[in-house]
Amino acid sequence: MCKVTISAYEFLKKFPDAESARKHIETCRWPTGAICPACGAAERIQTRKIAGYYRCLACKLDFTVRTGTIFERSHVPLDKWLYAIYLIMTARKGISSLQISKEIGVTQKTAWFMLQRLREACGNDGFNGGNDGGFLNGIIEADETFIGGKETNKHESKKLKAGRGTVGKMIVLGMRQRGGYVKASVIPTTGRFDIQEKVRESVYPGSILCTDEHASYRGMEEYEHHIVNHSAKQFVDGMAHTNGIESVWAVLKRGFYGTYHSFSEKHLHRYVSEFSCRLNEGNVKVHIMDRISALLKKA
């Protein structure tokens, strides 16, 4: 048996009902006991008659472990939420709302609502990679990719008729620290301002930046910049290559083509957050319960 994961059968035995899931989530959120989500008081917390309900005697707030989280104002039992998190963190290429609905016994509309809240949580900052403030540092690979269907495959009414290649596609910029974390975000253009702004927001000054020959990466003097010339069929030049970040795009596009089939422009940033979180917190060498706890803390 694998030492870093448990089967779906074992997981459901571990959390057979909403009460066991509530206790686990409370332990993750409040390791030393309930804390008021409004005023932060921990000393004057009163337990109510109904299990899982608390009152802060300092500010008179009644609250539960759902208060101030993605689970708030949701009628879905916490054991179903927890199993949905398990499915997300174990599905390498993502899982559709239709499949989630079948697995946990809710409507597809409810499953979509749950997935969108979980993806929003995936985008919360707070990962421990890099130096001050979560910056990536060391050797960083940066690259951009284009998400969207081919013009030739579109219905006649949806064709832009403005050319081929990247026309009509959405742009995602990604940075991967070698042996470390991934940061990715949607950008409006591949222009110098948009790309360099995101790089400076994410990469610690003094780091080694490895990119392709795209001109937008040039001129950032705060980094040691190494270039591989892909147009000349050069893919590795000593330590310089972008194979790591391109492997991220491979997984993202397998999810796009094989699981979701399309990403809307409105929600693309949430899908990108989901895949980044799964790569950062969902490393298969980390035990699945630790991966679930990492996402719960973001939630």
- Reported as a single tens digit per residue, the pLDDT across 146-198 is 997 666 666 666 665 545 556 678 999 999 999 889 999 999 999 999 999 99
| Percent over 70 (pLDDT), the chain | 89
| Percent over 90 (pLDDT), the chain | 67
What are the two backbone dihedrals, phi and then psi, of residue 140, each rounded to the nearest 5 degrees? -115, 130
pLDDT reading at 227 higher than 80: yes
Topology (CATH level 3) of domain 132-280: Nucleotidyltransferase; domain 5 (3.30.420)
What the block records as the tokens of 298 is: 């973001």
pTM of the model: 0.87
pLDDT mean across residues, the chain:
88
- Rounded to a whole number of angstroms, the distance between the first and last alpha carbons of the chain is 30
> What does the pLDDT average to over 235-248?
85
Q: What share of the chain is helix, strand, coil (3-state, %, to 5)?
A: 40, 15, 45
Q: Which of 269, 240, 290 is nearest to 4 (CA)?
A: 290
182: left (phi over 0), alpha (psi -120 to 50) or beta: beta
pLDDT reading at 201 higher than 80: yes
What the block records as the tokens of 118 is: 């979980």
At 148 the pLDDT is 77
43-84 pLDDT per residue, tens: 889 999 999 999 999 999 999 999 999 999 999 999 999 999
At 2 the pLDDT is 59
User: How many Cα atoms occupy the beta-carbon half-sphere of 104 within 13 Å?
Assistant: 32
Q: Which residues touch 211 (CB under 8 Å, ≥6 apart)?
A: 141, 142, 143, 217, 225, 226, 227, 228, 242
In degrees, rounded to 5, the angle at the alpha carbon of residue 98 between the alpha carbons of residues 93 and 102 is: 105
Cα gap 140→241, rounded to integer Å: 10
**Where does CATH 3.30.420.10 sit in the chain?**
132-280
Cα gap 174→170, rounded to integer Å: 13
pLDDT reading at 1 higher than 50: no
pLDDT band at 132 (very low <50, low <70, confident <90, very high): very low
